[in-house]
Amino acid sequence: MKWLTQFSLIMRSNLTTLKDKIEDPEKTLHQLLIDMEEELDSVRSRVAEAVADEIQMRQRTERERADVTKWSDRATQALKRNDETTARAALDQKLSALQRAERFEQELGRQQKDVLKLQDSVRDLEDKIRQAKQKKTLLTARLARAESSQKIHDVMERSASQSAFAQFNRLEEKVDRQEALSEAWDRMDGKDPDAMELERKLDAAERSDRLAEELAQLKASVAGI
């Protein structure tokens, strides 16, 4: 049945995917249960019709059986009157009624089996609907919990992206990027960072030597005084 297939698919779906694909899962599940109830009402109507057919077949069978008895009695009465012709005609009617009764009894037996199957279907549907209602309550709770967890996750992500730590990290990344760009421009201008560092060291050494020389001259001058 269409609604059983659809409900089964929903029950097997991932909850997050279900929430994304179905605008209102609770409303959808509620509608599915309504569809189930309507299907159950339809099956019950078919059961009622089948039971009505069974009752009519039983009544017809009973009438034919009554005719068998009636024509048998008439044949007996005719024979008692030594009216063999009438007795034979009555027996012929009896046989016809008996054949009809046997056919109706066969149809009645098949109808009774069909009614039992339909009644089993009704009980099966009623059981499935009870289970579906229980699962609906559980599934609705799970959907709500999944939605709540997703909201918490979203809040945590937004909080992490907007925190002071995140801003500090972004600022540090910007500084690193700016330094890298500056070094890139220096290299494009022919400036080798390693050579520039060596030059700074040599300049510092020369400056240190000059300071030492100046200091020695100052000491000599002071000593000569």
pTM over 0.75: no
Looking from the CA of 29 toward its CB, the CA atoms found within 13 Å total 22
Cite the DSSP H helix spans in the chain.
Answer: 2-12, 15-21, 25-80, 84-162, 164-188, 193-224
pLDDT, tens digit (0-9, with 9 covering 90-100), for 44-57: 888 888 888 889 88
Instruction: Go through the domains of the chain in sequence order and give each one's CATH number.
Output: 2-162 (1.10.287), 168-224 (no CATH)
What is the mean pLDDT of the segment spanning 144-168? 61
Report the alpha-carbon distance of residue 101 to residue 61 in Å, rounded.
5
Checking if the pLDDT of 23 tops 60, the result is no
**pLDDT at position 3, please?**
47
Closest to 26 in 3D by CA, of 158, 155, 146? 146
Q: Computed from CA positions of residues 160, 165, 167, 169, in that sequence, does the dihedral angle turn out positive or negative? A: negative
Q: In the structure, what pLDDT confidence band is assigned to residue 66 with cuts at 50, 70 and 90?
A: very high
